[in-house]
């Protein structure tokens, strides 16, 4: 048996109660992360042009097949940075036929599903200064460039790393940082032992 109420609850005026009822779901919706709204990108479709304007950068990949739509109001703006080695089939042995790494779309979709935008961009060494200027518009960068690929494409790994270090000094997160890649986690570390 439920306990009986001791007093009579005072009713709110109808107008005030309705306004409160409407405001609560709206406040909850605004507080919730803005996840993807729509279908994943189809073949030939790109989903990486917003929210940060990346139109000054060369779009290397053929499409963003499978990438979810970017959140309309992202909690944070991130980019996944790739490298396309132009002298290698598909841009490198770690790439799919559209030019993205095999794990790029799952990385991006994980961020997007959390209400964080994740634009897929490529480092093209001829556009070094423009690239790093555009990157200043992001809150964080996920760097997915295999060791040796920037050099294989004709670029300078040290120059790229210095650019990433400069972004970190501006407060932009870079994962992994060049220093972590260089000193702790580079895949080519075994080559240096021999």
User: Average pLDDT of the chain?
Assistant: 85
Give φ, ψ of 142 to 5 degrees: -105, 115
Q: Which residues contact 15 (CB under 8 A, 6 or more apart)?
A: none
pLDDT at residue 12 greater than cutoff 70: no
What is the DSSP track for 162-173?
A: HHHHHHHHTT-E
Residue 99 token pair: 């030019």
Domain count, the chain: 1
Q: Give the pLDDT score at 118.
A: 98
Average pLDDT over residues 129-144: 98
Per-residue pLDDT at 38:
87
How many helices and strands in the chain, by DSSP H and E? 7, 4
Q: Note whether residue 6 is domain-resident.
A: no
Six token digits for residue 40? 């994943």
Q: Residues 79-130: pLDDT tens digits?
A: 999 999 999 999 999 999 999 999 999 999 999 999 999 999 999 999 999 9
The reply to whether the predicted model has a pTM over 0.75 is yes
7 in any annotated domain? no
Element (H, E) at 79: strand 77-83
Question: Is residue 7 pLDDT above 70, yes or no?
Answer: no
For 30, the enclosing helix (H) or strand (E) is helix 14-31
Structure-model confidence comparison of residues 21 and 184, the more confident one:
184
In a domain, 5, yes or no: no
Q: Provide the residue count of the chain.
A: 194
Contact between 66 and 48 (Cβ < 8 Å): no
Run of H or E including 192: helix 189-193
Q: Is 58's pLDDT higher than 80?
A: yes
The DSSP string of 94-145 is TB-TTSSBTTHHHHHHHHHHTT-EEEEEEE-GGGHHHHHHHHTT-SEEEE--
How far is 107 from 144, CA to CA, in rounded Å?
A: 10
Residue 130's domain comprises 13-194
In a domain, residue 145? The reply is yes
Q: pLDDT: is 21 or 77 the higher one?
A: 77
Neighbour tally for 51: CB within 10 Å: 15
For residues 13-24, give the mean pLDDT.
55
């Amino acid at each position: 048996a439920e306990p009986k109420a001791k007093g009579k609850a005072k009713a709110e005026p109808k107008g005030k109660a309705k306004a409160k009822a409407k405001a609560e779901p709206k406040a909850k919706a605004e507080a919730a992360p803005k996840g993807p709204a729509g279908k994943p990108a189809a073949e030939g479709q790109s989903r990486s042009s917003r929210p940060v304007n990346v139109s000054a950068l060369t779009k290397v990949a053929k499409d963003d097949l499978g990438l979810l739509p970017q959140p309309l109001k992202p909690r944070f703006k991130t980019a996944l940075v790739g490298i396309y080695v132009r002298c290698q089939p598909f841009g490198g042995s770690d790439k799919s036929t559209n030019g993205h790494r095999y794990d790029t779309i799952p990385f991006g979709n994980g961020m997007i599903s959390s209400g964080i935008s994740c634009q897929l961009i490529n480092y093209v060494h001829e556009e070094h200064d423009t690239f790093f200027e555009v990157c200043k518009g992001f809150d964080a960068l996920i760097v997915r460039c295999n060791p040796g690929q920037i050099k294989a494409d004709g670029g300078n790994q040290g120059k790229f790393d210095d650019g990433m270090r400069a972004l970190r000094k501006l407060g932009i997160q870079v994962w992994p940082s060049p220093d972590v890649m260089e000193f702790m986690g580079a895949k080519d570390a075994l080559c240096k032992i021999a």
